[in-house]
Amino acid sequence: MRQAGRYLPEYRELRKEAGGFLEMVYNPERASEITLQPIRRYQMNGAILFSDILVIPQALGQKLWFEAGEGPKLGELNVDQLHLETIDETLSPIYETVAQVRHKLKTENFDQTALIGFCGGPWTVACYMVEGGGSKDFSKVKSFAACDPDGFSDLIDLVTEASIHYLSEQIEAGCEAVQIFESWAGLLDEEMFEKFVLQPTSKMVDALKNKHPDIPVIGFPRAAGYLIQNYADQTGIDCIGLDFTVPLETAKTLQKSGLCVQGNLDPARLLAGGEALESQARIILEALSGGPFVFNLGHGVIKETLPEHMEQLANLIKSYTS
Ligand code: CP3
């Protein structure tokens, strides 16, 4: 969950050299280095591919750029002009990154470190595509989905197909698990959640399981509230990523149903460090390590986080596990 990124000085250094974010994402040498950076420092058990969920709109033909300090921006959306057939022209450097990461993990003796590929959930990716970037309330995409459910479904279907292909190629290049980031799952009512989150996610999981039955699929329906149970029951995922608002009792219930759970330390505690970090990390470890569990944050690392705090957390987890 955003292990790399701006909290690491070596990332900031490489970003300066590269000149921009996308100049790192589409450069396999740089992107594989960034993927390895946190592993070299902290020896986590899982490395997450360095890329972004917004490469899918770009590969489909929508303009994408990152403005310093402002996050992602996307050009005008014209659904009829998006094209699925040629997405690999844009995405192939990312598959090459996967291959390079696997190679580096091996030569640097991180054979035990799993490489996790990812994409955005179709709903979340569509949110950015329709809004043209981030948004305070995502009202434009929600009103599109409500007024023209068929037109919006066409967009969701296209992103779903592209995402299946993209994850499948990541797996073929060497990813050992894949995660679907549904960061804006929390914006929808029950009916729209069913149509635009549950259905496309199940379709993705079915297709991936068909081709790659042994590759675990992790779903992260951020801030889904009570609907998290429907997501766990209906999508076919193997593991559920929990944001930091999910109560540990809910996590245990999900675990008892056989699902692996992943989460869910509040990144603000990692920012704080010290006792605020240690006490909550221990509570999570004690609550969940009796069942299938992957320790993780409940959202991405905050950029002001001190690297020493990550070290404190990594050491705590390693000593707890051993
Ligand atoms: O460890 C990693 O860095 C893994 C790679 C990764 C990135 N983005 C790199 C990145 C992953 C897994 C993501 C996922 C992602 N991207 C999500 C889903 C997870 C979440 O955060 O909810 C979303 C919604 C995006 C879209 C996106 N990309 C946004 C909104 C931003 C701006 C973020 C901000 O805080 O300003 C990005 C940029 C981005 N993606 C950065 C990184 C390291 C920061 C780029 C930089 O300025 O150097």
DSSP assignment of 187-218: G--HHHHIIIIIHHHHHHHHHHHHH-TTS-EE
Determine whether the shortest distance from the Cβ of 181 to ligand 1 is under 6 A. Answer: yes
Determine whether the shortest distance from the Cβ of 118 to ligand 1 is under 6 A. Answer: yes
* Listed residues 214, 237, 260: the one ending a domain: 237
Rounded mean pLDDT of 280-286?
98
Residue 181 forms part of a structural domain: yes
DSSP code for 301: P
Same domain, 230 and 261: no
Same domain, 77 and 222: yes
- Rounded CA gap, 179 and 216, in Å? 9
Compute, in angstroms, the gap from residue 273 CA to the centroid of ligand 1. Answer: 22
Same domain, 128 and 226: yes
Same domain, 177 and 248: no
**Which residue's CA is the closest to the ligand 1 atom numbered 34?**
71
Do 196 and 149 contact (CB within 8 A), yes or no? no
Strands (E), 165-300: 177-182, 217-221, 239-241, 260-265, 293-297
Rounded mean pLDDT of 135-164?
96
Position 305 confidence tier, pLDDT thresholds 50, 70, 90: very high
**Which residue's CA is the closest to the ligand 1 atom numbered 5?**
50
- What pLDDT is stored for residue 3 in this prediction? 66
Residue 59 forms part of a structural domain: yes
Residue 282 forms part of a structural domain: yes
* Listed residues 193, 210, 237: the one ending a domain: 237
Same domain, 192 and 301: no
**Which residue's CA is the closest to the ligand 1 atom numbered 10?**
52
Tokens, residue 291 = 């069942």
Same domain, 78 and 116: yes
Residue 64 forms part of a structural domain: yes
Determine whether the shortest distance from the Cβ of 138 to ligand 1 is under 6 A. Answer: no
CA-closest candidate to residue 224, choices 207, 201, 206:
201
Count: domains in the chain: 2
* Residue partners of 32: CB distance under 8 A and separation at least 6: 50, 97, 100, 101, 104
**Which residue's CA is the closest to the ligand 1 atom numbered 41?**
5
Rounded mean pLDDT of 34-45?
96
Distance of CA 310 to the CA centre of its chain: 19
* Listed residues 202, 237, 272: the one ending a domain: 237
pLDDT in tens, 184-238: 999 999 999 999 999 999 999 999 999 999 999 999 999 999 999 999 999 999 9
Determine whether the shortest distance from the Cβ of 3 to ligand 1 is under 6 A. Answer: yes
Rounded mean pLDDT of 290-297?
96
Rounded mean pLDDT of 131-155?
96
Rounded mean pLDDT of 57-81?
94
* Summary mean pLDDT of the chain: 96
Range of the domain at 212: 9-237
For the chain, percent of residues with pLDDT exceeding 70 = 99
